[in-house]
């Protein structure tokens, strides 16, 4: 049987990670995977998370199954966090998932079950896993542009492209800190997108993975809350990997908003059924940690303080890199980088130039030009700037 299996494609990000692992150069720099690292190069356990884990260990009495929706308190806490205390939670349901990617897949399955062959629009470029997840669920995928010639958000181009989205099409939007470009819509651009969705009848599907790491937690959640107020139906995939540091605990949530209680309850049951056939029910630990943090005022404040510190360090890295490139004479490229938000930055380099950056300077980013600006210590920024400038100079 297995001899009949054709050679499957490998994951490009993990291919680069394995290549980095075999690189013996002492100066090598891994900016491929999207994980936050502190000034020592570690991906730390947040203090709020560590305290929550200690409390859970002390009071743990059972490892009994939670049910198909996972941890109900976690789902309520995520609804309150994402939609806000005054948000439309009365017409929303949440199901715990295996991280944000699991939420994307469950929601994609729900869309396909509801309307087989639905067209889902994704940005170009998009998160590397968006298209594979959607197509694996049986959905048709179309793209709309995202960036202008200088690497910023192309508001006019996005609205022009999405004018072609029909009623009941689905448009996948990243709620903040666009991956891979770091180019985000301004508040007025989000308002225009919400108006277009309400007028033309397409359904927003928000991928929310980096909230708190862009312009602050409330500002990063504002676009999702705006859409929830303006449209009758919406899907939201939430990840706790980045802003809680729960990467390997695979903690996420799928949220559905509907126009009626009946529609929402049916969607919730459909999500439960989909989860049952994929993994039965999600793991408990990460959800219990997040719930403990969000339900305790002291831990919640500590978490937000840590999250702000992480955001500040990411901003400082990006500002320093842009300043150094400007000093080296690459002002236009520096301006593009300085406008970006979140963990990732898109370098103004071609695929061939990214290969040169890797081979000649031991700096690893994706072929498309994405680097994890949150994955480098401050003292390595000069090395990164010299590598980028060296490649640009060789054009």
Task: Give the integer Cα–Cα distance in Å for 317 and 374.
Answer: 7
92 and 192 together in one domain: yes
Query: Is 141 inside any structural domain?
Result: yes
Instruction: State the chain's mean pLDDT as an integer.
Output: 95
* Mean pLDDT of all residues in 5-16: 86
pLDDT at 56 over 90: yes
Pairing status of strand 363-364 against strand 29-30: parallel
Q: Please count the structural domains in the chain.
A: 2
* Mean pLDDT of all residues in 122-135: 96
pLDDT reported for residue 9: 83
Comparing 61 with 388, the larger pLDDT belongs to: 388
Biggest distance spanned by C-alpha atoms of the chain: 63
233 and 90 together in one domain: yes
209 and 163 together in one domain: yes
pLDDT reported for residue 210: 97
Task: Give the integer Cα–Cα distance in Å for 371 and 331.
Answer: 19
- CATH number assigned to the domain comprising residue 378: 3.90.1150.10
> In which band, very low, low, confident or very high, does the pLDDT at 60 lie, cut at 50, 70 and 90?
confident
pLDDT at 49 over 90: yes
Task: Give the integer Cα–Cα distance in Å for 384 and 364.
Answer: 10
For 229-276, how does the pLDDT look when each residue is reduced to its tens digit (9 = 90+)? 999 999 999 999 999 999 999 999 999 999 999 999 999 999 999 999
153 and 272 together in one domain: yes
pLDDT reported for residue 291: 98
Three-class DSSP labels, 349-386:
CCHHHHHHHHHHHCEECCCCCEEEHHHCCHHHHHHHHH
For 318-374, how does the pLDDT look when each residue is reduced to its tens digit (9 = 90+)? 999 999 999 999 999 999 999 999 999 999 999 999 999 999 999 999 999 999 999
243 and 217 together in one domain: yes
pLDDT reported for residue 102: 97
Cα–Cα distances (Å) from 317 to 93, 183, 328, 339, 343, in that order, read: 38, 16, 17, 13, 10
pLDDT reported for residue 14: 87
354 and 317 together in one domain: yes
211 and 79 together in one domain: yes
Asked whether the beta carbons of 82 and 208 are under 8 A apart, the reply is: yes
88 and 156 together in one domain: yes
For 158-178, how does the pLDDT look when each residue is reduced to its tens digit (9 = 90+)? 999 999 999 999 999 999 999
358 and 386 together in one domain: yes
Lowest mean pLDDT across 15-19, 73-77, 95-99: 15-19
102 and 186 together in one domain: yes
Long-range contacts, 217-221 (Cβ 8 Å, 24+): 217/243, 217/304, 217/307, 219/176, 220/175, 220/176, 220/177, 221/81, 221/82, 221/84, 221/175, 221/176
Comparing 15 with 247, the larger pLDDT belongs to: 247
244 and 322 together in one domain: no
* Domain that residue 311 falls in: 10-45+304-393
Asked whether the beta carbons of 242 and 177 are under 8 A apart, the reply is: no
- Domain-terminating residue out of 272, 295, 318: 295
- CATH number assigned to the domain comprising residue 124: 3.40.640.10
pLDDT at 61 over 90: no
371: tokens are 């680097």
């Amino acid at each position: 049987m297995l001899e009949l299996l054709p050679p499957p494609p490998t994951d490009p990000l993990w291919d680069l990670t394995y290549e980095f692992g075999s690189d013996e150069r002492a100066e090598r720099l891994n900016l491929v995977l999207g994980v936050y690292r502190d000034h020592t190069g570690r991906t730390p356990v947040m203090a709020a998370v560590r305290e929550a884990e200690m409390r859970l260990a002390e009071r743990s009495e059972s490892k009994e199954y939670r049910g198909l929706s996972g941890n109900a308190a976690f789902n309520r806490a995520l609804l309150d966090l994402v939609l806000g205390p005054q948000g439309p939670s009365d017409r929303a349901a949440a199901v715990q998932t295996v991280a944000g990617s699991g939420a994307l897949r469950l929601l994609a399955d729900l869309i396909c079950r509801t309307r087989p062959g639905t067209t889902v629009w994704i940005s170009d470029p998009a998160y590397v896993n968006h298209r594979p997840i959607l197509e694996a669920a049986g959905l048709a995928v179309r793209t709309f542009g995202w960036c202008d010639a200088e690497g910023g958000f192309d508001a006019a181009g996005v609205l022009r492209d999405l004018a072609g989205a029909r009623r009941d099409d689905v448009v996948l939007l990243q709620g903040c800190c666009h991956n891979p470009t770091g180019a985000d819509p301004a508040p007025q651009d989000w308002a225009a997108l919400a108006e277009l969705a309400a007028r033309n009848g397409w359904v927003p599907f928000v991928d929310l993975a980096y909230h708190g790491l862009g312009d602050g937690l409330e500002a990063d959640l504002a676009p999702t809350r705006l859409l929830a107020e303006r449209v009758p139906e919406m899907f939201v995939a939430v990840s706790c990997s980045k802003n809680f540091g729960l990467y390997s605990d695979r903690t996420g949530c799928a949220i559905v908003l509907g126009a009626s209680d009946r529609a929402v309850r049916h969607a919730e049951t459909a999500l439960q059924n989909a989860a049952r056939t994929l993994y039965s029910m999600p793991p408990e630990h990460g959800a219990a940690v997040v719930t403990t943090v969000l339900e305790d005022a002291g831990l919640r404040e500590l978490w937000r303080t840590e999250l702000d510190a992480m955001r500040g360090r990411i901003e400082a890295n990006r500002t320093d890199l842009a300043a150094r490139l400007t000093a080296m004479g690459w002002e236009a490229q520096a301006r593009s980088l300085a406008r970006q938000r979140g963990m990732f930055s898109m370098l103004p380099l071609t695929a061939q130039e990214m290969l040169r950056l890797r081979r000649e300077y031991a700096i690893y980013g994706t072929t498309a030009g994405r680097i994890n600006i949150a994955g480098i210590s401050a003292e390595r920024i000069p090395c990164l700037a010299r590598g980028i400038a060296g490649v640009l100079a060789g054009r």
